[in-house]
Structure 1
Amino acid sequence: MTSRLFDLSSTWHLPAPPEEVWTIIADIDMSWPQWWPHCSFAAPLTRTKAKSSSQEDILKATTAYLNFKASLGYTLTISIHPTEVVAPREIDFDAGGHLQGIGRVTLIPEKEGEATRMDIEWRVRPTQHWMNFLTPIAAPAFTAAHALMMRQGEKGLIEALAKQTPTSAK
């Protein structure tokens, strides 16, 4: 059975400049579980030798293994490995585990640089037999669960920005 390709996109509107958003989302220690509800580490980060000590090269040498607990009760374990990093604008990555494919996060300044639109794109295929079996009838539910999880991430990131950045207090 060939698994279905899911093209999933989300747009987050964040009350901080791209540089401040970048500081949190492109953290070399992958702090996402600290601010994203229902996200946790599935395993320790793995890191190969980076080409340099730059944040970009360290990110490209890092793979994070994350669990995302969906509102429908299942948990997806996904590896995220940055393949291209352009600070503070874009991260392209490979995804593996229960969803295999690629993704991209793009930061776009809004409100004269005082806010950020974050576009998130996924092109992934489920690898679990049960998901592939149910996809013909459950694809809308899987897509809705993804949208809810992304909204929770957006809210968590807004809260993290409010705690961390002086600009968001304006």
Structure 2
Amino acid sequence: MAGAEYRFRSTWWLPAAPAPRVFDAVVDLEAYPRWWSDVRSVRRVDDDTAEVVCQSNLPYRIAIAMHREEQDLDSGHLRVGLSGDLEGFLAGALHVVGPGTRLEITQHVRARKPLLRRLDVVARPFFRANHAWMMRRGHRGLITYLA
């Protein structure tokens, strides 16, 4: 990947949530708008694909097709391919820690949306901060949703 490329890593600690409950919640894309305010809509395309529209603090929306590539509860691994305004992948790994679960999220994407590509050089710090804010709200939302 070249140009307008981003790599993100996030770790979400879900203190009172067993791994199977966390896994079920994170693979249920259609429920995301109920607990993650930055996910504005989800539309199922087929059994393995959904279109997700997100908007965080900055005044633009991102439409992404998420296509299931791996979903294995036994190993705690999941991965989706991304296309649309972002191209790349998002992967998750769940780890049981006492009564809770640690969810490690890795994203490697390239911006395809023309606005993001044009502004990449000057706005990169704002895009990265916007992503961090979005992930914090998702983490808090999932904790509340699972409570």
Q: Under a length normalisation based on structure 1, what TM-score does the superposition of the two structures give?
A: 0.79
Are positions 1:83 and 2:69 aligned together? yes
Mapped to 1, the partners of 2:45 and 2:142 lie a distance apart of 24
Which residue of the other structure, out of 51, 55, 60, is the alignment partner of 1:74?
60
1:115-154 map, 5 Å: 115-154=100-139
Deviations 1:76-125 (A, max 9, x none): 11111110111150111100111100110111111x2x111111111100
2:25 alignment partner in structure 1: 24
Instruction: Output the aligned Cα RMSD.
Output: 1.4
Decide whether the 8 Å contact of 1:3 with 1:127 is kept in 2.
no
Contact 1:9 1:121 in 2 (8 A): yes
2:50 to 64, 86, 95: 64
Superposed displacement of residue 4, structure 1: 2.2
Q: Secondary structure at the match of 2:91?
A: strand
| Cα deviation 1:113-142 (Å, max 9, x = unaligned) | x11111111110001122111111111110
Higher-Rg structure is 1
Q: Is residue 3 from structure 1 mapped to residue 3 from structure 2 by the alignment?
A: yes
Aligned to 2:96: 109
Structure richer in strand, relative to its length: 2
Secondary structure, in 3 states, of the residue corresponding to 2:96? Answer: strand
Q: Deviations over 1:47-76 (max 9, x none)?
A: 1xxxxxxxxxxxxx4211111112012111
CA offsets 1:126-167 (integer angstroms, 9 cap, x no match) = 0112211111111111011001001100111001001xxxxx
CA contact under 8 A between 2:4 and 2:116: conserved in structure 1?
no
State the partner residue of 1:167: none
The 4+ residue runs of structure 1 with deviation greater than 3 A are none
SS of the residue aligned with 2:11? strand
| Whole-Å separation in 2 of the counterparts to 1:102 and 1:26 | 15
How far did 1:38 drift?
A: 2.0
Aligned to 1:33: 33
Q: Which runs of 5+ in 1 are unaligned?
A: 48-60, 163-170
Q: Name stretches of at least 5 consecutive residues in structure 2 with no aligned partner.
A: none
Q: Distance in 2 between matches of 1:70 and 1:38?
A: 5
